[in-house]
Amino acid sequence: MDITRSPLARPFPHLPQIAGVTLRTARASYKDWDRCDLTFAELTDGTAVGGVFTKSACASSEVELGREQVILGSARALVVNAGNSNAFTGHRGREAVEQIMAQVAEGLRCQPSDVFVSSTGVIGVPLPKDKARAGVAAVLTAEPCNWEAAADAIATTDTFAKGAGASAMLGATRAELAGIIKGSGMIAPDMATMLGYIFTDATIAPAFLQEMLEAANRATFSCITVDGDTSTSDTVLAFATGKASNDLLSGWDDAGADAFYAALLEVCRELAQLVVRDGEGAQKFIAVSVSGAADDDSARRVGLSIANSPLVKTAIAGGDANWGRVVMAVGKAGEPADRDRLSIGFGGIWAARDGQPLADYDEAPVARHLEGQEITVEVDLGIGDGRATVWTCDLTHGYIAINADYRS
Amino acid sequence: MDITRSPLARPFPHLPQIAGVTLRTARASYKDWDRCDLTFAELTDGTAVGGVFTKSACASSEVELGREQVILGSARALVVNAGNSNAFTGHRGREAVEQIMAQVAEGLRCQPSDVFVSSTGVIGVPLPKDKARAGVAAVLTAEPCNWEAAADAIATTDTFAKGAGASAMLGATRAELAGIIKGSGMIAPDMATMLGYIFTDATIAPAFLQEMLEAANRATFSCITVDGDTSTSDTVLAFATGKASNDLLSGWDDAGADAFYAALLEVCRELAQLVVRDGEGAQKFIAVSVSGAADDDSARRVGLSIANSPLVKTAIAGGDANWGRVVMAVGKAGEPADRDRLSIGFGGIWAARDGQPLADYDEAPVARHLEGQEITVEVDLGIGDGRATVWTCDLTHGYIAINADYRS
């Protein structure tokens, strides 16, 4: 398959070094390709971890184990396999994960439960243990690499490497954050074959790191969709090495907690949006802002109903200000709405207000907006104070070409 | 837009005359086209009615009024406007519907509430009252027409006329059923409008007709999807004229009730499947059968999650037996499932059983099945006795071309 770089791609940013994190990659050759496909992050002793995972009822062994490991709160290593998701592979798949955990634990002299494993790629093929064993052995002694190399090595059908960084002042101490992510299809996070990893040198209690990550996830990764399909492997992990030596953050009232959360949110939002920018076949990046909903969760669900509607997504692909399709998507969301209070706009220009098209609606500026690459859709439900923004991409021939021509 | 006849189309069947039903069509010229676009069914005095409607929170005035009228249980006429859905048009839209009801009621000397109105087409443009008035005046005196002419006149961008019939022995009395339908989830590119009408000469109490229609709807119209988008106007009405003079059917224990329900179910299933066969861009008709679910409703929701998945639909379009995408769609359904009991097959051949791919799985016969036009997907959840079958079509470049190239 010839994959060209998404027209919505962003250059890989400069990301800070995170003290206590060492990245390495190796070739496990999970597929017949000439690239690194095993990524390893060694984490200093005492690193705290938080994680959010797919809600799929058919989650992979990696996800099942990860959910248990996160509760323990500590991490020493991350291993990411690309090219094979190891999902739907029964006990053989689980054994392969446990083998990797044991092998890394032996190398680092840590507990197997401190070794987090993710896998992404084809479903239904057990991860080959021999390739994993040789790959892990190689990666443990490989030279350290930079963020972009790691972002490349976790990717599968992505068309560009994705990363984001931020910093936060925790009192007088500056903490750095860096994150990488992969994903472009099967994206509707309850989480998607979206694998994201965020690293920071801040000192944070695991329970509070988990709490902040869950909050950030609700506002970012859970607000994106490419195709409404949810993968069996979605995972976002946050690791805090504590090397910044700030006073421990253990709750929202601690000095610096708000600053750190703001930085975490910024990284998560950028990573989430980068996944949308690499949505399969995407030609336009679409932000759907919903206001006036019963509450914020309701606003998010209405936004996702719009963002998942094939009719809305194809209309925008065609540059068509078809607000009737937005009405349809609001109506089908199953959330409180009142047809006669509903207002809909594009690019900040209302097309319909209070349940009727505007008498003096001028489509020309809206049509110009829809010719661009960065589209906004505004919806006001007029019944409450709930609001949310969700992000998606348009639905194009490229999506069909990628997914109807792809053979597993 | 050049719409060619769906490759999955069926010839229009021979349908019985239904005593007490007279069909007529006229040209209201709701759009600039050379065809009949106003359909009228006159129903004999005493006709019972049942109806099911879209659950959209932004339903049209036709739907709002229809929901109230059905509760009264009696009908004398049906009017269907094609080319303008009259949805999202506020009080002006409602006035247009009330005008039609009053005009027909005057002509037939009945109550306005006995006149059912449906409209399908573009959203956001109030139905023009002058055209409606002239059209209704013309149709009231037009020559009677046959089922196929009526099926053509209610259509918008459908590529073929759709009808189905059946009969049932109610004791010694033979009752006839005939139905017509338009749309497919998205064959009218502006919205997902499905309008269906079923007529019978049986004598049935309105409440029982309603009960049977709701039951049939759950197993048929609620089991189809083209793209998961739900219209603001979806309507299915059932009219029973009583001309067959059978003993009144008023409950499931009445003689003939089971026979009538079986015939109603047959007509509803055929009409529902015809809509899928006209799905935008459809090249393949797909039946997804789910068994072993917690209950029947859960099975239906799992089936719809599979049938709505763009990744599953594009895989089938590409002839790819990608059962991993089916696993994904089961997992995201939000229904009880156990990965390690899940089995998946195509064309009656299991590809995976109990959470793992079959060791001796031979893809060749499955690949041959997927080359055909009539595809089956089998899913067994292995946790209960619930079962359901849902119907959909594949997702192709044709869908994108129709919906991204169309301008409202």
What average pLDDT does range A184-205 have in this prediction?
71
Closest Cβ–Cβ partner in A56, A232, A324 for B190 = A324
Phi first, then psi: give them for residue A354, nearest 5 degrees: 50, 45
Number of A/B CB contacts below 8 angstroms equals: 230
pLDDT of the residue at B355: 86
Residue A62 DSSP code: H
- Show Cβ contacts of residue A201 under 8 Å, excluding neighbours closer than 6 positions: A18, A19, A20, A21, A175, A176, A240, A241, A242, A243, A244
Tokens of A378: 């505004």
Task: Please give the Cα distance from A49 to A183 (Å, whole number).
Answer: 22
Closest Cβ–Cβ partner in A318, A332, A400 for B229 = A332
**Residues B381 and B290: beta-carbon distance below 8 Å:** yes
Residues 161-200 of A with CB under 8 A from B: 185-186, 188, 190
**Residues A224 and A189: beta-carbon distance below 8 Å:** yes
The dihedral built from the CA positions of residue A53, A56, A59 and A64, taken in this order, carries a sign that is positive
pLDDT of the residue at A408: 44
Q: Does A371 touch chain B (CB under 8 A)?
A: no
Name the band, by pLDDT with cuts 50, 70 and 90, for residue A237. confident
What average pLDDT does range B75-95 have in this prediction?
91
Phi-psi group of B20: left, alpha or beta (phi > 0 → left; psi -120 to 50 → alpha; rest → beta): left
Closest Cβ–Cβ partner in A185, A315, A355 for B403 = A315
What average pLDDT does range B384-403 have in this prediction?
88
Hey, which residues of B are catalytic here?
193
* Domains along the sequence of chain A with CATH: 21-277 (3.60.70.12), 285-405 (3.10.20.340)
Report the share of chain A in percent with pLDDT over 70. Answer: 94
Q: Does A308 touch chain B (CB under 8 A)?
A: yes
Name the band, by pLDDT with cuts 50, 70 and 90, for residue B201. very high
Task: Please give the Cα distance from A82 to A210 (Å, whole number).
Answer: 25
Residue A405 has pLDDT above 90, yes or no: no
Residue A117 has pLDDT above 70, yes or no: yes
Task: Please give the Cα distance from B311 to A317 (Å, whole number).
Answer: 19
Tokens of B58: 């932004």
**Residues A347 and A375: beta-carbon distance below 8 Å:** yes
- The residue of chain B with its CA nearest to that of A405 is B318
pLDDT of the residue at A184: 67
Residue B270 has pLDDT above 70, yes or no: yes
Name the band, by pLDDT with cuts 50, 70 and 90, for residue B290. very high
Q: How many whole angstroms from its chain centre is CA A95?
A: 27
- Contact assignment for A400 to B405 by CB distance below 8 Å: no
Nearest to A4 by CA among A405, A313, A280: A280
- Show Cβ contacts of residue A327 under 8 Å, excluding neighbours closer than 6 positions: A339, A342, A344, A352, B58, B87, B88, B123, B124, B232
Q: Is B347 helix (H, G, I), strand (E, B) or coil?
A: coil
- Binding-site residue ranges of A: 156, 182, 193, 280, 403, 408
- Contact assignment for B90 to A403 by CB distance below 8 Å: no
Of A74-78, A328-332, B53-57, give the range with the top mean pLDDT: A74-78
pLDDT of the residue at A53: 85
pLDDT of the residue at B190: 34
Read off the pLDDT of residues A241-275 as tens digits, 9 standing for 90 and up: 999 999 999 999 999 999 999 999 999 999 888 88
- Contact assignment for B315 to A403 by CB distance below 8 Å: yes
* ipTM of predicted complex: 0.79
| Residues of chain A contacting B230 with CB distance shorter than 8 Å | 328, 331-332
B250 is in an annotated binding site: no
Most A CBs within 10 A among B1, B55, B58, hence the mutation to make, goes to: B58
- Contact assignment for A334 to B309 by CB distance below 8 Å: no
Hey, which residues of A are catalytic here?
193
pLDDT of the residue at A41: 95
Q: Which residues on adjacent β-strands are paired with residue A166?
A: A177
- Show Cβ contacts of residue A25 under 8 Å, excluding neighbours closer than 6 positions: A36, A38, A39, A40, A139, A142, A145, A149, A150, A153
| Residues of chain B contacting A407 with CB distance shorter than 8 Å | 318, 320, 322
B55 is in an annotated binding site: no
pLDDT of the residue at A241: 93
Tokens of A213: 């990550």
Name the band, by pLDDT with cuts 50, 70 and 90, for residue A239. very high
Phi first, then psi: give them for residue B82, nearest 5 degrees: -115, 135
Closest Cβ–Cβ partner in A92, A232, A337 for B57 = A337
Q: How many whole angstroms from its chain centre is CA B14?
A: 19
Extract the runs of DSSP E, i.e. beta strands, from B85-200: 115-122, 162-170, 173-182, 195-200
- The residue of chain B with its CA nearest to that of A322 is B408
Residue A345 has pLDDT above 80, yes or no: yes
Read off the pLDDT of residues A60-116 as tens digits, 9 standing for 90 and up: 899 999 999 999 999 999 999 999 988 888 888 999 999 999 999 999 999 999 999
What average pLDDT does range A142-161 have in this prediction?
93
Closest Cβ–Cβ partner in B324, B330, B407 for A408 = B324
What average pLDDT does range A179-189 have in this prediction?
69
Burial grade of A124 (CB within 10 A; 0-12, 13-18, 19 or more): buried
Name the band, by pLDDT with cuts 50, 70 and 90, for residue B408. very low
Most B CBs within 10 A among A311, A343, A394, hence the mutation to make, goes to: A311
B403 is in an annotated binding site: yes
Phi first, then psi: give them for residue B292, nearest 5 degrees: 70, 20
- Contact assignment for B59 to A327 by CB distance below 8 Å: no
**Residues B352 and B342: beta-carbon distance below 8 Å:** yes
Query: What's the whole-number average pLDDT of chain A?
Result: 89
Q: To which residue do tokens 């799992």 refer?
A: B302
Could you tell me where the DSSP H helices lie in A51-127? 61-72, 90-108
